Amino acid sequence: MAEIKRGYRISDIYQGGYSSLAPSQNIYSGYLTAGNFGMTTDPRSANILQEVSTKLSSGVKHIEVEGVSPEIFDSIPTQQLKEVNRLSKLTGVDVSLHGPVMDVSGISQQGFSETDRENAERRVENVLLRSHELNPEGNIPVNFHSAEGIPGSQFLPPSKRKEGEKYRKLIVVNRETGKLAPLEPEVEHYPGMKELEKGGYRTPEKRRENLNETEWNNSISHVIFSKDRVDQILEENRVFIEPLLQDIYAGRIEDINSIKSPTAQQALRRVRLAQDYLDEVYKQVNALFSKAYEFGTEEQKNELKKLSESFKKDLEENKDPIYGQSKAMDNFIHKLKEPVYTPEMYVPIEKFATEKSSETFGNAAWEAYKKYKNKSPILTIENPPAGFALSTGEDVRNIVEESRKQFMEKAVAGGLSEGEARKQAEKLIGATWDVGHINMLRKFGYKEEDIIKETEKIAPLLKHVHLSDNFGFEHTELPMGMGNVPLKEMMKKLGEKGYEARKIIEAASWWQHWKTPPFEETLEAIGSPVYSMEMAPYWSQATGLYQGYFSGFGQMLPQINYETFGAGFSRLPAELGGQVQGAQGSRMSGRPME
DSSP line for 403-459: HHHHHHHHHHHTT--HHHHHHHHHHHEEEEEEHHHHHGGGGGT--HHHHHHHHHHHG
3-state secondary structure of 15: coil
Phi, psi of 582, deg, nearest 5: 70, 20
pLDDT of residue 418: 97
- Rounded Cα distance, 40 and 60, in Å: 10
On whether the pTM is more than 0.95, the answer is: no
pLDDT of residue 588: 47
CB 472 within 8 Å of CB 440 = yes
DSSP H or E stretch at residue 505:
strand 502-505
Is the CATH code 3.20.20.150 the one for domain 99-149+346-467? yes
pLDDT of residue 15: 46
CATH 3.20.20.150 intervals, the chain: 99-149+346-467
List of residues 6+ apart from 382 with CB closer than 8 A: 143, 144, 145, 146, 396, 431, 432, 433, 434, 437, 464, 466
Q: Convert 302-326 to b/e letters by CB count within 10 Å (16 or more is b).
A: ebbeebeeebeebeeebeeebeebb
- The segments of the chain whose pLDDT lies below 70 read 1-31, 193, 196-199, 542-594
